[in-house]
Amino acid sequence: MKARAAVMSANTVNETAEASNYLFSTLKSLFAVAENYPDLKANQNFMQLQKDLMETENKITYSRQFYNDTVMKYNISIQTIPKNIVASLTGFEKKDLFEATQAEREVPKVEF
């Protein structure tokens, strides 16, 4: 619950990334513990959770790419004439891309 709450309350891109990583590391720990319980591994709800986790990770990867594409277009836009003049007068600044580490890019491996 704590990990999910951190994701939901994140205000910046970096906070969201850190909270998401914490959530997925927590889920990986849960799946590691589940290895010791064959009945749990065969449980339909648990199998659905595994599937949902993979789908969520794929959605996050897509969203990160969409965010970076949008930021790149924005940064290029505020650097071209005449938009750069308006951007500097109104306080629009270049935004940072979301950069995930290699470990963050890997889909959690969950084996049952």
Tokens of residue 25, six digits: 């590391």
Q: What is the pLDDT of residue 106?
A: 61
DSSP symbols for 28-56:
HHHHHHHTT-HHHHH-HHHHHHHHHHHHH
Q: pLDDT (tens digit, 9 = 90+) per residue, 28-78?
A: 777 777 778 878 777 888 888 878 887 888 888 888 899 999 999 999 999
Tokens of residue 13, six digits: 């891109």
Q: Which helix or strand (DSSP H or E) is residue 2 part of?
A: helix 2-9
Q: What is the pLDDT of residue 82?
A: 92
Which one is predicted more confidently, 109 or 67?
67
- HSE on the CB side for 85, CA within 13 Å? 2
Tokens of residue 88, six digits: 């500097």
* Mean pLDDT score across all residues of the chain: 80
